[in-house]
Structure 1
Amino acid sequence: MFSSNWLLVVLVTFLVTPLSRGQLTPSFSPSATLSPSSSPSALLDAGEPSASASASATAPPNPDRNKYFHEPGGDDLLHHYDARFFQRIVTDEERKDTLRHLIRAYFLTFEYLGLETWIAHGTLLAWYWNGKILPWDWDLDTQVTDQGLKLLAKHYNQTYYDYEEGDGQSKRRYYLDVNPWAWQRDRGDGANIIDARFISVDNGLFVDITGLSEVYPDTEPGIIMCKNNHRYRLRDIFPLRHTYFEGVKAKVPFSYVPILTEEYSDAALVRTEFQEHRWDANSREWLKIPKDQDVVKEEGGSKRGVSMKDDGAYA
């Protein structure tokens, strides 16, 4: 649990100039309908384990058995879908369209619920460049406090939310699901490092939500971490900065540059060719490199462009 000083810190916010404003005004209507498979007994009780979860926790580690969120496969494409809503691998255009509306609906939902959340990991790197999703990305990452995670579990677990962009397209529906293992704040057997998901019912693409907790307050006060061992100082996250992402209000960590360089290296903030895309400073967009232009000239020689993934700076 965070220290009492944390409550005072988060009240202060800073303004970041919006990088991207949407052209459409969304019409958002949360249905807040419980999934037929959910019941009050299935919800987390303020972060405490249920009897069945406690029994499982004492058993020998078995990631396959204990894993809550499942994907239809483990390759680079299939592990970006939630298995319950997966039908087929979507096209690139469908993926980009789904992710854009997914993150917009996510932030509108959390604003409606009055819960604080912010952009993390590869999605934070995308925001840094132009306030938009990286064109090669397949999923989205956000974070919440451990207290926010408890509120999600207690009041909003397994609920549906409808979203309408206002562009003549049909309503889109999303499912908010909290992992029953969210009460466990250390890594455990590694099967449940994702605490919650906000999932597109149409195709299974999702936002991964992880909670940050002060796991060792006695020996590491002021250090918060997720279950995938990403560690932060409280002052690096809070106070959160207000900004825009894909045209809607969003928040990012206070010290976003050190956080990004720690996770992805300094090169991630300056390198202009990644994943067969080149940064265009005039349009402030990542543009696909034509097949006949995929060789980068450097200091009298040439070499094929190297992706961010190759040097550890991949979103």
Structure 2
Amino acid sequence: MLMKTKIRRILFGVAIGPLSLSHIVTAAPAPAHAEASQPPPPPVLEGMNYLTLNRSLEDKYFHEPVGHELGADDRLGHYDVRYFHGMVTEEERAESLHHMVIAYLDFFRLNELETWIAHGTLLGWWWNGELLPWDWDVDTQVLDTTLARMAREFNRTVTSYVSADAKFKREYLLDINPWAYFRDRGPGHNIIDARWIDTSNGLYVDITALSRFNPSDQPTTWECKNRHRYQTIDLYPLRQTMFESTPALVPYMYQDLLVEEYSTKALARTDFQNHTWNPIVGQWILTA
């Protein structure tokens, strides 16, 4: 699908700065006087230590509108508060996510940034190559080396997008979480490493990076800050496919990963969230 894009950099916000593309995940050596009982320092992204981040001051970077806590409307948790102007309609949500996926995947492909779809987004692809109709955001993954390049070259980039039929126009912000410097989970506020945000309504793509926390003893084990673990053979070679009518990549062992995360029921159940799967048309049909 063709689209027109115009890219610019905006000059406010946290700048990540230069990052090394090799040996990204390291652990700083403990001081000679450190007690044996002290926990090891967290693994970090090299090249960001000039920010002098104090882990004890870590706070949540990406914020969602107030009201998405337990018991409230979960849909509010799928907006970035900086660009939130109220809940969008179901029609606008579906249209916004469709074009956001196209703009995201095209941007990453054109800039040779490797990314693949993950989690619930991957499950939607498994069924029919589309987002699940009840999904309110998009999940993707990258390697930490890709995250480093994103931070160095594209942080705070705004991309202007025009659909092929020129009827849909949007601007998307690529925002890197500065706390991505620390590669462990920490207090749990910053498990999302970056976002691709629709600046008209706050809907977004969540981007998480995979790191090798113990490359010497476990060189094939990759993990995100939300404790999802993978082996290299689970991911590579990535498979080329189509998603939301645009080229995309998925993990090599995609079905095994989906079963591990969601169980076999997710690949067999044909009624969910007031939708029923229609195999004739290959779509989830709203039933209520």
TM-score (normalizing by structure 1): 0.78
CA offsets, 1:198-228, max 9 Å, x none? 0001100000000011112233331101000
Aligned counterparts of 1:30 and 1:143: Cα–Cα separation in 2: 24
Distance in 2 between residues matched to 1:170 and 1:92, nearest whole Å: 16
Choose the corresponding residue for 1:37, options 12, 16, 31: 12
**Contact 1:43-1:180 within 8 A present in 2 as well:** no
1:69 equivalent in structure 2 = 62
Which amino acid is the alignment partner of residue 272 of structure 1?
Answer: T
Maintained 8 Å contact 1:30/1:109: no
Query: How is 1:179-198 mapped onto 2 (pairs within 5 angstroms)?
Result: 179-198=177-196
For residue 77 of structure 1, give the secondary structure of its aligned residue in structure 2.
helix
Measured against aligned partners, the alpha-carbon deviations of 1:97-126 in whole angstroms (never above 9, x if no partner) come to: 000000010000001111110000000000
Per-residue CA deviations over 1:57-114 (Å, capped at 9, x if unaligned) read: 1x2xx6xx61111111224011100011111100101100000000010000001111
* Range with greater deviation from structure 2 (266-275 or 69-78): 69-78
Q: 1:179-215: CA deviations, max 9, x gaps?
A: 1011211111111100000000110000000001111
Deviations 1:249-303 (A, max 9, x none): 000000001100000001100110011100000000000114xxxxxxxxxxxxx
Deviation at 1:44, TM superposition (A): 5.5
> What pairs with 1:1-315 in structure 2 (closer than 5 Å)?
25-31=1-7, 33-38=8-13, 42-43=16-17, 45-46=19-20, 47=45, 48-54=47-53, 56-57=54-55, 59=56, 66-73=59-66, 74=68, 75=72, 76-290=74-288
Shift of 1:26: 2.7
- CA drift at 1:244: 0.3
Q: For residue 11 of structure 2, what is the amino acid of its counterpart?
A: P
Where in structure 1 are there 5+ consecutive unaligned residues? 1-24, 291-315
Where do 5+ consecutive residues of structure 2 fail to align? Answer: 21-44
Q: Tell me if the contact between 1:187 and 1:193 (Cα under 8 Å) persists in the aligned partners.
A: yes
What's the RMSD between the two structures over aligned residues? 1.6
C-alpha distance in 1 between matches for 2:227 and 2:63 = 21
CA distance in 2, matches of 1:164, 1:183: 33
Shift of residue 137 of structure 1? 0.4
Percent of aligned pairs with the same amino acid: 46
Residues 214, 223 of structure 1: 8 Å contact kept: yes
Take 1:241 and 1:194, find their aligned partners in 2: how far apart are those partners? Answer: 24
| Aligned mates of 2:16, 2:262 — CA distance in 1 | 37
Secondary structure of the residue aligned to 1:71 is: coil
Relative distance call for 1:120 and 1:170 in structure 2 (3 A) is closer
Return the letter of the residue paired with 1:26. Answer: L
Amino acid paired to 1:186: D
Amino acid at match of 1:29: T
Offset at 1:42?
4.4
3-state SS, counterpart of residue 236 of structure 1: helix
Amino acid paired to 1:146: D
Maintained 8 Å contact 1:175/1:199: yes
Q: Could you tell me how far 1:145 is from its partner in structure 2? A: 0.7
Note if contact 2:16-2:176 (Cα within 8 Å) is conserved in structure 1. no
Aligned to 1:17: none
Q: Which residue of 1 aligns with 2:30?
A: none
Tell me the residue number matched to 1:305: none
